[in-house]
Copies of this chain bind each other. A is one copy, B any other.
Amino acid sequence: MAETRRDRLRAATVREISDTARRILVDEGPEAVTLRAIAREMGMTAPALYRYFDSHGELLRHLIGDIFTELTTALHADISAVPEGDISGKFLAASRGFRRWALAHRREYALLFGAPLPGLGHKEQADFAEECARTFGWTFLTLFLELWQKRRFPVPADDEIDPALVGQLRRYRDEVIQVDLPLGVIQRFLQCWVRLQGGVSLEVFGHLDFALEDPGPIFELMVREIGAMLGLTYAPPAS
């Protein structure tokens, strides 16, 4: 079954819808991304969009998927801009790149990492957005694993880990990562990720404004601490 002309047109329309939705999101905020607004912008009427998406929610999920992919691409660019051997540098670049992207795309970030939208259950299976999110997750995870392979930073032994955590870590390792690793590595990964994403979220959502105008130094401090935990050779940001 070759790709027919119709199929190409359809794919192009889907892309145009995504792009339009994206532009509205950036320009006018998430609440302005309505079916009618998208259709209006494209010279169509709202019901026509139902030929391409089952509902408003599904369109949004698709948009989320697109944005995840874009973020992943941006991070990979940041990472591969660092010379091949410098794994510490790559890790720092990814962390800073994540924050930079988040600050430059606050509304998109809110869609990806904010409170889960009602009606957009984050629990959907076999979802496009879900898949893109997983791919994104691998970006940091592979970096982390590579770091572990090369530097063997100190991690807690299995019997030093909270028993309530051991089972969960094992499941995550065996079912998702599927690489033979000490559980302590995974615990460290999660700890780092919580700090990184947690810190970025707070800053992006303005929850540090009560004290700071520019939380950049606090973020850098955090990166430094994470680096220390992982035995990274720290280098200050380029800019």
Report which A residues bind B (CB closer than 8 A).
Answer: 29-31, 110, 113-116, 118-119, 122-123, 133-134, 137, 162, 164-165, 168, 172, 176, 186-187, 190-191, 194-195, 197-199, 201-202, 204-214, 216-218, 220-222
Q: Which residue of B lies closest to A219 (CB)?
A: B194
Centre residue among A210, A214, A222 by max chain B CB count within 10 A: A210
User: Taking CB as reference atom, which chain B residue is nearest A189?
Assistant: B211
Q: Which residues of B contact A176 (CB under 8 A)?
A: 210-211
**Cβ B162 vs Cβ A206 within 8 A:** no
Instruction: Check if B205 sits within 8 Å of A114, measured CB to CB.
Output: yes
- The answer on a CB contact under 8 Å between A205 and B116 is yes
Contacts A194-B218, A198-B202 known; A212 to B172 CB distance under 8 Å? yes
Cβ-defined partner of A195 (8 Å) among B115, B116, B195: B195
Interchain CB contact under 8 A, A206 and B31: no
Give the one of A162, A212, A217 with max B CB within 10 A.
A217
Known: A31-B118, A114-B115. A168 touches B221 (CB 8 A): no
Q: A162-B220, A197-B207, A221-B191 are in contact. Are A213 and B118 (CB under 8 A)?
A: no
The number of times this chain is found in the oligomer is 2
A164→B216 contact, CB < 8 A: yes
Are B168 and A213 closer than 8 Å at their CB atoms? yes
Q: Would A165 and B217 count as touching, CB distance under 8 A?
A: yes
13 contacts between A and B (CB under 8 A): A113-B205, A113-B207, A114-B115, A115-B115, A115-B205, A168-B214, A168-B217, A187-B218, A190-B211, A190-B212, A190-B218, A191-B218, A194-B198
Residue of B nearest to A200 (CB): B198
Chain B residue numbers with a CB within 8 Å of A207 are 113, 197
Contact A119 B31 (CB under 8 A): yes
Query: Nearest 7 CB-CB pairs, A to B?
Result: A198-B198, A110-B115, A114-B115, A165-B217, A162-B217, A172-B211, A29-B118
Nearest residue (CB) in B for A110 is: B115
Instruction: Report chain B residues within 8 Å CB of A191.
Output: 218, 221-222
Contact partner, A164, options B123, B214, B222, Cβ 8 Å: B214
A233 CA to B116 CA, complexed, in Å:
36
